[in-house]
Amino acid sequence: MPTRPRSVLPSILLVASLLAGVGGTIPAVVAEDAPPPKAPEPPPKAPEPPPKAPEPPAMETPPPAMGETPPAMDEPPAMDAPPAMAEPPAMETPPAMAEPPAMAPDAAAMDAPPPAMAEAPAMAEPPPPPPADAGPVSPTGRPGLPLRYRTPDEVKAALDAIAARPAWGARKARVERYGTSAGGRPLWVLRIGPDAAPQVLVHGGLGARDAAGTVAAIAFADATLPDVTPAEGGAAPPPPDDRVGWLVIPAPNPDALAAFLEGKPRLGGPDVDRDQDGRAGEDGPDDLDGDGEVVSMRRRAPDGPFVADDAPPKDGKALGDPRAMKEAGTDARRAASFTRPVEEGKDDDGDGDVNEDPPGTDLARNLMGVWEEMGAWPGDGPFPGSAPEAKALLDLSWDTPALVGWYAFTSEGARLERASERGNDADADDALYGRLAGPWREAAGGVELRKASERPGASENRGSDLDWAARHLGVPALRVPVWRIAKEAGSARDRHDPDEVDWLLWNDRVLGGKGFVPWHEVAHPQLGTVEVGGWKRFTRWEPPADLLPEAVRRVMRVPSVHAAFAPRLAVRVEVTARGAGLASLKVRVDNVGGAATDTVRAERAARATPVRLDFAPAEGVEVLAGPRSVGLGTLPAGGVSAPTEWLVRRAGPGPLGVATATHRVAGVATAEGRLP
């Protein structure tokens, strides 16, 4: 029987792990997600030469960085990588430094051509090279908003700028306030029309360090409603064929975003008394050594459960890295072992525990996901939706009946992740996900898809936004991480996705080793001598500012895939004259869209509504038989309803009436019947 732990400690650790990388999420700990290579080794090779001109992607235009906390979100330690980038045919050139494809308009392209820009114009003359952080260029050649980290105020300004653009076809935008954060900041949603269409929600991350997700959500909105004012002498581009509208929420957790960019990362939302001591949020992480970075902390312990992951190199390639850690297991050769690394911090409230009650609520665990256990709420906060930011998002999405898709841009992750509820109907919509998988992968530049629960080290999350969307709203939901690296050529580890060793090699190669604070001894006020070390901000868990634009460009268009996966109705009327002014109408409704009018999960969640068909007789037409209104149930993509028949009478030729099909998501379609 899964129950709430008797001690609050496990849930505290869970929460701490979000900030600190405890347990499955220690930045410097490698999860064993794949066995070491067993296949015959390739012939020994000389170590890779350093890439040409290691133009260090300098951190000199640093984001307002001061400190760093370990991962937001429930990201695993192990990095998985997109296969397209992960397995370059030849390992001579590290993929991350591959030559930019010749046709790539963007010199900053890192390792993959940008996804096809559907609306990019065929330009006659090459424009001047855009700045490195150039946003999406409009079809008329106008520059988009720069791709850079933005504070909540700057996010609002960006949304206002997009909303001020002229309408493009049915696309026009407005900024609406949908709530207020615990810290008093307004919560903004950018609605991009058409309103009377299926709606797709796109939000930035809910975690403590999802600043890159915020940038991606803005970039998506920017590309969706570009400034199409024609250049001088130019023509306006044709209006797009719009099948969906968008709700874009770049900063659903503005308090955390602001704190992160100020160098004082913390969760958003109200403080929680996790340790039940009558004080809320009183013991969070601290910068022990005053270096401006909150990283990880470990202690030497004879029987500690962790050791340095320092396997000697094999054939000149790294099998481990002394900076990385791994679970000791029964490793007999352990020279030094350590306690489980936790976030850097002291015992602020003097209760003998460190960081057990960090400020704020973990919003990524505060929505209503899948929770069927007895006892108290096992997510963060006292109950689901306890944080005003979480409640506002729950309410906004619940009150959007035409919602058809849910996308969450987050900072870091090796793969796209779809909702992964538990239970015997968790996979009810696998067929739909199967059809979405290809377009998603293509739009993300080849990044693979998995269920969120399949991520190595993933812990169960009862309050996930993906599960809220999939289970309670019945819409497909996808997490789109912005930041990833390719596997490093210098690693001999046989893992499908990049892991901690790849990240450390990348740190040395690209950042000159500056991204990782080496483990060093610090005198701890309560614990004696401890060691502090780990990833700084803007390295491992979110891209350095100069690598942000390309990372965003690669994934920013993923949600636009959904336009092809919305239901759409059409009505067919077949009139048969029966003589003497009598006529019968047979009416069928087609779903000409790319998805069923409701998902299987929407039906099981009792959110589904039937397609409704009404018939309004024209003036002078008498209905002799037939329903006023009929429910046709759910229509699959490409599906046609059974015919509904009306018998009418009319003196002479002319219109008989209008049949109207209506659906909560798919909208309205009409057709007229006429007596010839």
Query: How distant, in Å, are the alpha carbons of 88, 372, 571, 668, 672 from that of 618?
Result: 66, 53, 17, 19, 9
Asked whether position 422 contacts other proteins by CB under 8 A, the answer is no
In the list 662, 665, 666, 669, the residue contacting other proteins (rule: CB under 8 A) is 662
The encoded tokens of residue 199 equal 């709606």
- Give the nearest distance from C-beta 525 to other proteins in angstroms: 16
Asked whether position 374 contacts other proteins by CB under 8 A, the answer is yes
Restricting to residues 246-275, which ones interact with other proteins according to CB under 8 A?
Answer: 275
- Please identify which residue in the block is written with the tokens 């994934």: 555
Q: How far, in whole angstroms, is CA 597 from its chain's centroid?
A: 24
What binding mask, one character per residue, do residues 58-97 give for other proteins by CB under 8 A, x or -? ----------------------------------------
Cβ atoms of 55 and 110 within 8 Å: the answer is no
Q: Rank residues 46 and 625 by Cβ distance to other proteins and give the closer one.
A: 625
Give the burial string for 134-173 (b: 16+ CB within 10 Å, else e). Answer: bbbbbbbbebbbbbbbbbbebbbebbeebbebeebebbbb
Q: Rank residues 167 and 371 by Cβ distance to other proteins and give the closer one.
A: 371
| Contact stretch for other proteins (CB under 8 A) within 124-132, 381-389, 408-416, 445-453 | 381-389
Restricting to residues 564-623, which ones interact with other proteins according to CB under 8 A?
Answer: 604-607, 609-610, 612
- Give the nearest distance from C-beta 27 to other proteins in angstroms: 29
- Please identify which residue in the block is written with the tokens 């963060």: 380
| Contact stretch for other proteins (CB under 8 A) within 5-13, 88-96, 216-224, 481-489 | 5-13
In the list 371, 523, 638, 642, the residue contacting other proteins (rule: CB under 8 A) is 371
How many other C-beta atoms lie within 10 A of the C-beta of residue 604?
14
Cβ atoms of 380 and 365 within 8 Å: the answer is yes
Q: Rank residues 58 and 616 by Cβ distance to other proteins and give the closer one.
A: 616
- Judged by DSSP in three states, 532 sits in strand
- Give the nearest distance from C-beta 603 to other proteins in angstroms: 9
Q: Rank residues 160 and 395 by Cβ distance to other proteins and give the closer one.
A: 395
Restricting to residues 469-498, which ones interact with other proteins according to CB under 8 A?
Answer: 472
The encoded tokens of residue 406 equal 């849910």
**3-state helix/strand/coil string of 8-59:** CHHHHHHHHHHHHCCHHHCCCECCCCCCCCCCCCCCCCCCCCCCCCCCCCCC
Q: Rank residues 421 and 500 by Cβ distance to other proteins and give the closer one.
A: 421
Q: Rank residues 419 and 551 by Cβ distance to other proteins and give the closer one.
A: 419
Q: Rank residues 171 and 203 by Cβ distance to other proteins and give the closer one.
A: 203
Distance CA 378, CA 20 (A): 19
Half-sphere exposure of 374 (CA within 13 A, CB side): 3
Q: In what order do the strands lie in the sheet with 403-412?
A: 173-180, 186-192, 245-249, 199-203, 403-412, 477-483, 416-418, 449-451
Distance CA 446, CA 591 (A): 30
Asked whether position 4 contacts other proteins by CB under 8 A, the answer is yes
Q: Rank residues 54 and 627 by Cβ distance to other proteins and give the closer one.
A: 627
| Contact stretch for other proteins (CB under 8 A) within 1-9, 83-91, 355-363, 442-450 | 1-9
In the list 164, 301, 336, 376, the residue contacting other proteins (rule: CB under 8 A) is 376
- Please identify which residue in the block is written with the tokens 């268009």: 557
Asked whether position 382 contacts other proteins by CB under 8 A, the answer is yes
| Contact stretch for other proteins (CB under 8 A) within 82-90, 147-155, 192-200, 380-388 | 380-388
Q: In the chain, what are the helix, strand and coil shares in percent, each to the nearest 5?
A: 20, 25, 60
Asked whether position 650 contacts other proteins by CB under 8 A, the answer is no
* Closest to 633 measured CA to CA, from 605, 613, 658: 613
Q: In what order do the strands lie in the sheet with 667-675?
A: 629-631, 612-617, 654-663, 667-675
- Give the nearest distance from C-beta 349 to other proteins in angstroms: 8
In the list 41, 87, 315, 395, the residue contacting other proteins (rule: CB under 8 A) is 395
**Interface with other proteins: number of residues (CB under 8 A):** 43
Asked whether position 2 contacts other proteins by CB under 8 A, the answer is no
Q: Who contacts 271 (Cβ-Cβ below 8 Å, separation ≥6)? A: 280, 281, 282, 359, 360, 361
- Give the nearest distance from C-beta 602 to other proteins in angstroms: 10
Distance CA 360, CA 298 (A): 24
In the list 385, 498, 549, 617, the residue contacting other proteins (rule: CB under 8 A) is 385
Max Cα-Cα span within the chain: 101
- Give the nearest distance from C-beta 479 to other proteins in angstroms: 20
In the list 260, 306, 377, 503, the residue contacting other proteins (rule: CB under 8 A) is 377
Contact residues for other proteins, defined by CB under 8 A: 1, 3-8, 275-278, 350-352, 367-368, 371, 374-377, 382-386, 394-395, 398, 468, 472, 604-607, 609-610, 612, 627-629, 662, 664
